[in-house]
Chain A
Amino acid sequence: MQKDQNTLAEVKRRGQILSKFPKNLSLVFIIVLLVVVFGAINTSFFSINNIINIFRHTSVLSLISIGMALIIIDGGFDLSVGANMALGGAIGAIVFKLSGSGALGIIAVLATCTLIGTINGVSVGVLNINPFMFTLATAALTRGLTLGLMNAQSVEMKDTTFTWLGDYQIGILPIVMIFMVVVYLIFYFILRRNIFGMKIYAVGGNINAARASGINTKLIVTYTYIITGLLVGIGSVITIGRIGSVQPWVGVGLEFDVITAVIIGGVSLRGGEGTMLGTFLGALIIGVLINGLSFMEINPFFQYIIRGVIIILVVFIDNIMHRRSSASY
């Protein structure tokens, strides 16, 4: 028994150290490098305020990255997260206006976004429609609906229940930071210890073998989109609280940042691979980058170029890593 436990510990230790750590270590290194560079250019980058600001801004990105990571691990894709987030806000604003209840408004946001996630999930997972095209379509549909419902105007949101998650602070610590860490921990354990997490890896790694092992592959794929929808809803509530209004154009380009973060974090575009720690670090890199670039008041066109270059680099590295590991097959 004693021996068993030792081996268990050893297996776990080796698993973590050998296969996960070096990749994530390099991500940490990139973050440090970015922070040092930005800090050297402008020392106020280091202020507590700015650091907390980075985490606040990154919270929505990093939460939705969790869902996107699950989807991409299972070989899918979701381009509708940004537009879905806007639609959730629009419906939430309408329900709030009619009922006067912040709680009902929040429920409406979560329900709307989860519904869109479910439509994506069933179409991709069960009906086997190409995820790229289908979520592109839901993105257009939800954005159009949002603009129509809100008449392309923003709506102020002062209800403290509605804005609590995105706005409330304990001292200088935003509540949303704690919330984000808790959600990450939950999904960390789901992926490592829960039957659902193991099935996600199996489906992404080899969907035929997963099915032949008794896994309901359609259901697992569908769940990844539903979870993403729910996380998008949470992201919508946080955003409304943070900016104090409901904006019809919120979330434009969000899918771009989220997918970049997830891929930088080591989730393989070929599916079957990726971790929560890596995803978190990937989101943090994007967060620091966006914050640093706007802090330095760099022209937006240049920001886009930098992001483009980063994605190309990441995809190349992913390709090389894959070639190396597949050589041993």
Chain B
Amino acid sequence: MNTNQNLKFNKIEMMEISKIFPGVQALDKVDFEIRGGTVHAIVGENGAGKSTLIKILAGVYRKDEGYIRIDGKDINIVNPIDAKRLGISVIYQEFSLVPELSISQNIFLGNEVSRKAKFWINKNEMHKKASEILKDLNIDINPKRKLGDLTVGEQQLVEIAKAINSDAKLIVMDEPTSALSDVEKDHLFIIIKKLTSQGIGVIYITHRMKEIFTIADSVTVMRDGKKVGDYDIDEVDENKLVKLMVGRELGSIYYREKGSTKGKIVLEVQNLSKGNSFSNISFNVKEGEVVGIAGLMGSGRTEIARCIFGMDKFDSGKILLNGREVKFKHPFNAISHGIGYVSEDRKIFGFVPLMDIKENITLPSLKWLSTMGWVNLKEQLRIAKDYSAKLDIKSKLIQKVGSLSGGNQQKVVLGKWLARNPQVLILDEPTRGIDVGAKSEIHKIINQLTKENIAVIMISSELPEILGVSDRIIVMHEGEMTAEFDYTEANEENIMKAAVGLHKHH
């Protein structure tokens, strides 16, 4: 921790910050403060509100309530330019750099915000200034090089240099190490120390517990849009943090009768690998069983689902359906074999907004509803009516799906696959972004499906949902399976540990 008098600021405070998105209270009266010259970590599950909080500080979102103060003075941030002018720099997971420009050009890019802009830029002067900044940070790269030639880790350092050049007081890093090698990570930590010694404050967001204890001075835990607490790093350990992140009661909305007799294995995945996305994944699903796949976003869960469904190609491994190997080149092949996939992003992959409920529900079934290419409209209507009733979709069948609520849209997407009488259903975040009532209905539907002997694979970032619905649970961490639990032995803590990579496969 920095005790010098050269602090760029004493204290930045966010007080009683609230933000509501349609249907979700993203932040509920959150207080947060960071002192100059320190590294302050923020941890929490996906959807806990970390990113929303940071985006409010960076001017990307506007807060609904609350106020922000720098050294006791109220400030107003309504857009990213305001934030930059106040010396708040955010380094996102996707960089805002231009690969075609040189490093020094990138460092000076957009700087007119904080300095008096010069219309003509003296190249030599620019290179000189850039190499000073880089040298000061112990970064040994020639600033004349093209940015696109650098590694991801080096580009990140350039991003930091850019922040310093714009007189940043506070630098926010959102999962900065997710794409870095160990050597690059160590270099980044040295640079972070250097920043704090210059009096700069650093907010550090990560899912990786170990890094927090290496680099942070203090940590804030968030859960469900609320702050759980602020802690000095000496007050907590990894286990305590995980407990604080997930510690909540299981609601009754996650209801399913688990552990009833299971049938034969329907789908089996053997040693499936794909590039950087995932490696050596093996698991199976039985008739009437729900296998939950837990893990953080980006841990490779969705990529596995897409490969099983024939949307993407995989490098090695096998997929067996009823004991026989299958190779799907296109989702159509998977659909013909009785596999359905409810994507995590229903707006992109789930439905056609301009088509009505009837047309969307029957879209994957059209081939089986037509003779010589002519669709049997009566049969189409009957099926649409059937599943719309079964799923309790209250809107009229001729309503365009784009105009429905999130819950009803998701029911339409489910109906689409149920109408195909699937043997395997892959549900990727089936209840994301829908209200509690619809969530509970969807869990009841899943329960009903398993009674009809459908094998279900459910990917979810919500631990209560994973625990409440699955018979068996697989946990992923950075493309690898780190644990597998029966529902009787699983709890939030051991899943979360495996998901952040604290607990390796037995």
Contact, CB under 8 Å: B311 / A8: no
User: Bound complex: CA of A74 vs CA of B356, how far in Å?
Assistant: 17
User: Bound complex: CA of A84 vs CA of B367, how far in Å?
Assistant: 34
- The stretch of B60-68, B395-403, B485-493 in contact with A is B395-403
Which of B309, B355, B358, B375 gathers the greatest number of chain A CB atoms within 10 Å? B355
Interface residue? B438 (CB, 8 A): no
B412 to chain A, nearest CB (A): 11
User: Bound complex: CA of A210 vs CA of B330, how far in Å?
Assistant: 12
Known: A196-B373, A198-B375, A212-B331. A205 touches B353 (CB 8 A): yes
User: Bound complex: CA of A215 vs CA of B330, how far in Å?
Assistant: 9
Q: Looking at the complex, which one of A193, A210, A211 makes contact with B377 (CB distance below 8 Å)? A: A193
Known: A198-B366, A215-B332, A216-B330. A209 touches B349 (CB 8 A): yes
B156 to chain A, nearest CB (A): 31
Contact, CB under 8 Å: A213 / B363: yes
Contact, CB under 8 Å: A193 / B355: no
Contact, CB under 8 Å: A195 / B381: no
A-B contact pairs, 5 of them (CB 8 A): A11-B381, A195-B367, A196-B373, A205-B353, A272-B354
Interface residue? A160 (CB, 8 A): no
Size class of A's contact patch?
Answer: 20 to 34
Known: A198-B366, A211-B331, A215-B332. A11 touches B352 (CB 8 A): no
Find residues 430-461 in chain B having any chain A CB closer than 8 Å to their own CB. Answer: none
For the A-B complex with A206-B348, A209-B348 known, give 14 more contacts whose Cβ atoms are closer than 8 Å. Answer: A194-B370, A194-B375, A209-B349, A209-B350, A209-B351, A210-B352, A210-B363, A212-B343, A212-B350, A213-B331, A213-B363, A214-B332, A214-B335, A272-B352
Known: A193-B377, A195-B366, A196-B373. A212 touches B349 (CB 8 A): yes
Size class of B's contact patch?
Answer: 35 or more
| Interfacial chain B residues near A211, Cβ < 8 Å | 311, 330-331
Q: Looking at the complex, which one of A7, A196, A202 makes contact with B355 (CB distance below 8 Å)? A: A202
Contact, CB under 8 Å: B332 / A201: no
Contact mask for chain A residues 185-221; partner B; CB cutoff 8 A; 1 contact, 0 none:
0000000011110110110011011111111100000
Interface residue? A273 (CB, 8 A): yes
Known: A193-B377, A195-B375. A214 touches B352 (CB 8 A): no
Contact, CB under 8 Å: A209 / B377: no
A111 to chain B, nearest CB (A): 24
User: Bound complex: CA of A237 vs CA of B48, how far in Å?
Assistant: 66
Interface residue? A297 (CB, 8 A): no
Interface residue? A97 (CB, 8 A): no
Contact, CB under 8 Å: A193 / B350: no
Contact, CB under 8 Å: A205 / B330: no
Output the nearest chain B residue to A11 by Cβ-Cβ distance.
B398
Interface residue? B226 (CB, 8 A): no
Find residues 1-48 in chain A having any chain B CB closer than 8 Å to their own CB. Answer: 4, 7-8, 11, 14-15
Contact, CB under 8 Å: B382 / A4: yes
Contact, CB under 8 Å: A195 / B377: no
| Interfacial chain B residues near A301, Cβ < 8 Å | none
Which of B330, B334, B351, B354 gathers the greatest number of chain A CB atoms within 10 Å? B354
Output the nearest chain A residue to B341 by Cβ-Cβ distance.
A212
Output the nearest chain A residue to B366 by Cβ-Cβ distance.
A195
Contact, CB under 8 Å: A14 / B373: no
Interface residue? A328 (CB, 8 A): yes
Find residues 357-398 in chain B having any chain A CB closer than 8 Å to their own CB. Answer: 358-359, 363-364, 366-367, 370, 373-375, 377-378, 381-382, 397-398
User: Bound complex: CA of A214 vs CA of B422, how far in Å?
Assistant: 14
Interface residue? B497 (CB, 8 A): no
| Interfacial chain B residues near A209, Cβ < 8 Å | 348-352, 363
User: Bound complex: CA of A215 vs CA of B354, how far in Å?
Assistant: 17
Interface residue? B286 (CB, 8 A): no
Find residues 123-178 in chain A having any chain B CB closer than 8 Å to their own CB. Answer: none
| Interfacial chain B residues near A210, Cβ < 8 Å | 352, 363
| Interfacial chain B residues near A194, Cβ < 8 Å | 370, 373-375
Output the nearest chain B residue to A327 by Cβ-Cβ distance.
B403
| Interfacial chain B residues near A215, Cβ < 8 Å | 332, 363
Q: Looking at the complex, which one of B352, B364, B378 makes contact with A201 (CB distance below 8 Å)? A: B352
B379 to chain A, nearest CB (A): 11
Find residues 252-278 in chain A having any chain B CB closer than 8 Å to their own CB. Answer: 272-273
User: Bound complex: CA of A94 vs CA of B378, how far in Å?
Assistant: 51
| Interfacial chain B residues near A7, Cβ < 8 Å | 381
Interface residue? A302 (CB, 8 A): no
B12 to chain A, nearest CB (A): 37
Which of A199, A206, A209, A213 gathers the greatest number of chain B CB atoms within 10 Å? A213
Known: A8-B381, A194-B375, A208-B349. A214 touches B397 (CB 8 A): no
Contact, CB under 8 Å: A208 / B348: yes
User: Bound complex: CA of A182 vs CA of B11, how far in Å?
Assistant: 77
Q: Looking at the complex, which one of B349, B373, B378 makes contact with A195 (CB distance below 8 Å)? A: B373
| Interfacial chain B residues near A196, Cβ < 8 Å | 373
